[in-house]
Amino acid sequence: MPSSPDRPRAPLAVTCGEPAGIGPEVVARARARTSAPFFVLGNPDHFAGFGIETRTIDAPADARSDILCILPHDVPGAAIPGQPVGAQAAGVISAIARAVDLATTGAASGIVTAPINKKALKDGAGFPHPGHTEYLAALGGDADVVMMLACPELRVVPATIHIPLSQVPATLTPATLETVLRVTHAGLIRDFGIARPRIAVAGLNPHAGEGGTMGREEVDWIADLVIRLAPDLGCFGPLPADTMFHAAARAGYDAAVCMYHDQALIPIKTIDFAGGVNVTLGLPFIRTSPDHGTAFDIAGRGLADPTSMVAAIEMAWDMAGRRG
Ligand SMILES: NC(=O)c1ccc[n+]([C@@H]2O[C@H](COP(=O)([O-])OP(=O)(O)OC[C@H]3O[C@@H](n4cnc5c(N)ncnc54)[C@H](O)[C@@H]3O)[C@@H](O)[C@H]2O)c1
Ligand SMILES: N[C@H](C(=O)O)[C@H](O)COP(=O)(O)O
């Protein structure tokens, strides 16, 4: 748990996520594993049956830490494990927007999102975004946002996120990478309390291009950009991605900025899938999430591990305390 706040803080708003997934289960089980104040936006029926006492509340300020408090949100019908219901998609999406409103007005200290199934939301309600990160960026006024996944041993940032691998080289530009590095640097200072962040930058190509023999992006512009920004942002690289995640290498930086989704997320989900947290940097409000998805294969079977949800809640609460 984070240190005691200097003054009372509003509780966190947790979104229900996909009812057919493990979101409701990990939210319910998290209640028994942390004392951080939160309430969940969703259909109260979806949170029954996990052996956790629940209570519906009328307002965020009514939230308590000893009971799972649910602020009712219209996500109609039963939750069917592994089978998304199209009619629920709009409610899953609007719960996210409502949580953002609550955080923006100060009724919530920040938001923690339970996992969504992107295909279910697209099929059910035409959700146009590939993930929370992009939706939250839009809700946050087209903010320049960065996806960071963090665990005690490692923080990673993919510079490109939910796009096909074939589009990565064209999407990566000096301007986009510079923005990612600046937002990452600011987030490490503001939300992680690191006074002088050290940021390792991965190469795009095998062996970071090996002097242009295995790809040219590193020699054409990535190295120059990193050198130019190094005095301000404490960045270095580009490094061969295959050798920058072992324990001794990790000790040399506070975050690794990677060129694409899996380059960043494979190492952290391998090192600490249970404890990883997804945090969006650059938003005008706090947002964290567990690092796992809807896990339809185990939904409704009582097998879901709430550790990542607990870590996400505690990280958001800690950030809220740091921001004051
Ligand atoms: N923050 C989010 O909203 C978020 C994050 C990641 C994935 N997703 C979405 O979730 C859906 C499924 O994605 P996926 O299958 O790639 O990943 P997943 O994380 O849902 O599942 C991967 C594997 O890990 C297991 N697993 C996941 N969480 C677990 C937990 N808490 N306890 C025990 N086992 C757990 C699953 O059973 C599965 O075998 C996709 O639609 C994806 O886009 C959403
Ligand atoms: N890219 C994330 C992951 O694989 O864990 C995940 O899809 C979540 O993304 P959002 O937070 O943008 O939904």
What would the pLDDT profile of 254-311 be if each residue is shown by its tens digit? 999 999 999 999 999 999 999 999 999 999 999 999 999 999 999 999 999 999 999 9
CA distance 44 to 70: 6
- Sign of the torsion formed by the C-alpha atoms of 141, 143, 146 and 149: negative
Q: Which bound ligand lies closest to the C-alpha atom of 158?
A: 2
Question: For ligand 2, which residues put their CB under 6 angstroms from it?
Answer: 131-133, 265, 278, 289, 291
Q: Ligand 1 center to residue 281 CA distance, Å?
A: 21
Q: Which bound ligand lies closest to the C-alpha atom of 276?
A: 2
The DSSP secondary structure of 136-161, one letter per residue, reads HHHHTTS---EEEEEETTEEEEESS-
CA distance 133 to 30: 23
- The boundaries of every CATH 3.40.718.10 domain in the chain are 1-142+283-324, 144-282
Model pLDDT for residues 245-265, shown as the tens digit of each residue: 999 999 999 999 999 999 999
Indicate the top mutation candidate among 18, 162, 315 to test ligand 2's pocket, ranked by most ligand atoms within 8 A of CB: 162
pLDDT of the residue at 232: 98
pLDDT value at 145 more than 80: yes
pLDDT value at 3 more than 70: no
- Relative to the CA of 295, which ligand 1 atom is closest? 20
Q: What is the mean pLDDT of residues 65-69?
A: 96
CATH superfamily of 1-142+283-324: Isopropylmalate Dehydrogenase (3.40.718.10)
pLDDT value at 136 more than 60: yes
Q: What is the mean pLDDT of the chain?
A: 96
Query: Interior CA angle at 290 toward 123 and 307, to 5°?
Result: 135
Using a pLDDT cut of 70, give the percent of the chain over it. Answer: 98
Q: Ligand 2 center to residue 104 CA distance, Å?
A: 22
Burial degree of 166 (CB within 10 A; 0-12, 13-18, 19+): exposed
Q: Ligand 1 center to residue 238 CA distance, Å?
A: 30
CA distance 303 to 96: 25
The sheet with strand 54-56 has its strands ordered as: 54-56, 68-72, 38-42, 12-15, 111-113, 287-290, 277-281, 146-151, 154-158, 255-258, 199-202, 235-239
Ligand 1 atom 10: residue of nearest CA: 293
pLDDT of the residue at 8: 75
Model pLDDT for residues 165-187, shown as the tens digit of each residue: 999 999 999 999 999 999 999 99
Q: Ligand 1 center to residue 232 CA distance, Å?
A: 37
Query: Interior CA angle at 46 toward 40 and 52, to 5°?
Result: 70
**Quick one: pLDDT band at residue 227, thresholds 50, 70, 90?**
very high
How many residues does the structure list for the chain?
Answer: 324
Q: What is the mean pLDDT of residues 33-41?
A: 97
Ligand 2 atom 7: residue of nearest CA: 131
Indicate the SS3 state at residue 5. coil
Q: What is the mean pLDDT of residues 49-63?
A: 96
Q: Which bound ligand lies closest to the C-alpha atom of 25?
A: 1
Q: Ligand 1 center to residue 247 CA distance, Å?
A: 26
Q: What is the mean pLDDT of residues 185-213?
A: 97
Kindly report the backbone phi and psi dihedral angles of residue 238, in degrees, each rounded to the nearest multiple of 5, phi listed first.
-75, 140
Q: Which bound ligand lies closest to the C-alpha atom of 287?
A: 2
Ligand 1 atom 41: residue of nearest CA: 117
Q: What is the mean pLDDT of residues 112-122?
A: 97
CA distance 148 to 286: 13
Q: Ligand 2 center to residue 228 CA distance, Å?
A: 30
pLDDT value at 1 more than 70: no
Q: Name the CA radius of gyration of the chain, rounded.
A: 20
Annotated binding site for a divalent metal cation: 162, 207, 261
**Quick one: pLDDT band at residue 4, thresholds 50, 70, 90?**
very low
Using a pLDDT cut of 90, give the percent of the chain over it. Answer: 95
Query: Interior CA angle at 309 toward 190 and 279, to 5°?
Result: 30
Any ligand 1 atom below 6 A from CB of 122: no
CA distance 55 to 71: 9
Strands 277-281, 146-151: pairing is antiparallel
**Quick one: pLDDT band at residue 324, thresholds 50, 70, 90?**
confident
Q: What is the mean pLDDT of residues 73-87?
A: 97
Q: What is the CATH number of domain 144-282?
A: 3.40.718.10
ipTM exceeding the 0.90 mark: yes
**Burial per residue of 298-311, b for 16 or more beta-carbon CB atoms within 10 angstroms, e otherwise:** bbbeeebbbbbbbb
